Amino acid sequence: MAEVHAAVEKLLGGTMFCFDVETIETDAAQALQAPNPRTNRLSWIGLGGPGQVYLIPLEISHGVTITRAGKRKVSAFELYGPDDPQSYTPSTRTLPREQRKISSRMVEVPQEPVYAPPPRTLPIRDVMDALEPLMYSDLGKLGHNVKFDLQTIASYYKGKLPPGPYHDTIILRHILNEDEINYKLKPLVWQWLGITSKQYPELGKEGVHNFGMDDAARYLCKDVRYDWLMWKYYYPRLRRKDLQRVYDFEMGFYEVVMAIEMAGFPVEMENLRKVRADLESQIHGIEQAVWHEAGGPFPMSNTTSRRWVMFGEGKVAYPTDPKTGAVLSKRALKTQGVRVLSYTPKSTPENKTPQITQAVLEAYANRGNRMAQWFLDWANAEKLRGTFIEGINGLLSPSVPGQLPHIHTGFNQHGTATGRLSSSKPNLQNLPRGSTIRDLFVADHGYVLIVADYDQIELRCLAYEAAERNMIEIFQQGRDIHREAAAAAMRIDAADVTPDQRQVGKTLNFATSYGAGPGRIAMVAGTTMDEGRAFLDRYYAQFPGLNRWKSRVLQEARSRGDRKKLTKPPTVVIPPFGRVRRLPDLFIVDPDEEWKKWRAERQAINAVIQGFASYITKMAMWDLYFSLDPDVAHMVVQVHDEIVLRVRKSRVDEVLPLVTSTMSSIRGTDGQPILGDIPLLVSAETGYTWAEAKGK
């Protein structure tokens, strides 16, 4: 223990330290989904600072490696034994045993590793007591996805999180480049230093406790050392690229994210049967619509079939369904014949295969293609079914006596290019509005849920950024922006707009940032393409500032790039902290890739609006976190512009107005209202289930 105390004293003399933990998952079902920092056991702790790394083994299965796993050669006779003909030469195998000749053939066989016995480790409670002054100091705490390590440490101190300031190299690298393919530590280091996976292997997937003590120690040492070096190398770039404020906000917000993850969301399994039935009914309905349009049934999961239905005979020749052999009717061609936007990378000039990825389907759907939209809806519903119906048991944490089991989704600050939070394992942010899956999520006994969301926050951000006076006036007067848009496009009075017409107005409003074209407008309105185009023209005539602003955003984005330098692509700047979104496709001039340029232009506008709105929501979450008494109310999930809180039933009348006033009072970096004279409007309802509160 003296060495542990000495390491703590040494690290306490600095301003920050790096740390990493290795764990053993105690819940086999949970281990299949993701390591759980609330239930796993520490096996190693790595600590580091300038020029120093300390490794503390706590639970190890093997000592040092004596013989590594591999292959060795043995004689056929030794391997098969005297009774097996393979032990003898081919020409004598059929002879009586005494006349056979033993084969000299050598056979390669796997060799299991051999380890020395594991040494005695330090008592874990003594180690945690010694580390407490360091973990709960005001020193900066650095790691790669350090929230996992912090939450693991907290489980040994009655759930108390070590205080900040926090530093996370995942978020650092994401802010500097939101388009990295892989944000795991090893691939980032391999790319950065040009080393191979053999020099720096990934042992964590199999668990370091399955390797020799020497290999585990070497692996953890590299994790700590490389993470420290990467932070030292990349952190100064934040200031040079004017991204320091973005990073500082995200790391300040880190505590809020960890608190939500640790709280979890209670789940009522008795509602599972209803949710399953509703979801399967939704999937069946989509399939029936697709098969009716296509002229016959086919396996929806089969990419080849979906490609044939989209593009038809004469584009790609699939005369029959590849699995069932059924011939799809000519009626399918009513939704086919669309221009191919992109071909698979393996396509050849003689055999071109159209791509049918999610991005391609979204491009078709935004042009009004019903089949593309159905394919997207079906894929999303199937994913929800697999996660929340078939896989839900693997997502639940062990229940505490007297409480329902909880789902602890992970919230990622590096999952999107715009700064919006994403969630995973499971993805609660991908639930469609009105989804009955929300019936699974409840407040539990003695609590209620508050579901608070912003009213048209993205359109308010759009009006503010574009300084569009007509739109600003609508928000200031509390009028319905979708009703007003429909009235302008259809040349009718706003009071006469029907619910169906209002839906057209909603599509028109979101066409600005999501890129819906006249085809989508016509599909929603049930009219012709020409009329859909006329609706768009009248809409922009009513709100002339929008097109001027969009043109300015795209012009400025291209001016920040350099066509001759791949390292300097066009970028848009996302308020209020200056996050950037890189969009190299804005420079595309090839007519065959025009759709990629169009997608990049849509992404540019969307990044500014969606990113701005997401930061307002995160600022509201930050303010709520420090305004609420955690014993009375706490946040359990955030979905885009919606925040869900779990509140003691006896205190809900006190908490509800605090939530709405906090969310509607967000101020910018200059201390003024974040959207100037455009009000932030918040709606909040209560209920026992998430679906009940959301549906009010």
Question: 301-329, pLDDT tens digit by residue?
Answer: 888 888 888 876 433 333 444 444 444 44
CATH 1.20.1060.10 domain residues, the chain: 270-384
At residue 518, the pLDDT reads 81
| Cβ atoms of 343 and 365 closer than 8 Å | no
CATH 3.30.420.10 domain residues, the chain: 2-63+121-259
At residue 337, the pLDDT reads 53
Return the higher-pLDDT residue of 291 and 327: 291
Taking residues 202-226, what's their average pLDDT?
89
- By mean pLDDT, which of 53-57, 505-509, 526-530, 568-572 is the weakest? 526-530
At residue 463, the pLDDT reads 97
At residue 418, the pLDDT reads 93
Rounded Cα gap, residues 4 and 125, in angstroms = 13
Sort 15 into a burial class: Cβ within 10 Å, 0-12 / 13-18 / 19+: exposed
At residue 27, the pLDDT reads 55
Sort 477 into a burial class: Cβ within 10 Å, 0-12 / 13-18 / 19+: exposed
What's the CATH number for 395-457+613-695?
3.30.70.370
| Cβ atoms of 441 and 650 closer than 8 Å | no
- Rounded (10°) angle between helices 185-193 and 213-240: 70
- By mean pLDDT, which of 81-90, 425-434, 680-689 is the weakest? 425-434
Taking residues 683-689, what's their average pLDDT?
95
Rounded Cα gap, residues 153 and 210, in angstroms = 22
CATH 3.30.70.370 domain residues, the chain: 395-457+613-695
Confidence of residue 485 (pLDDT cuts 50, 70, 90): very high
Taking residues 609-629, what's their average pLDDT?
97
Q: Does domain 270-384 have CATH number 1.10.3210.10?
A: no
Rounded Cα gap, residues 35 and 209, in angstroms = 14
**Closest alpha carbon to 176 in 164, 162, 165, 191:** 191
Taking residues 258-268, what's their average pLDDT?
94
Rounded Cα gap, residues 137 and 131, in angstroms = 10
What's the CATH number for 2-63+121-259?
3.30.420.10
Confidence of residue 255 (pLDDT cuts 50, 70, 90): very high
Rounded Cα gap, residues 190 and 532, in angstroms = 51
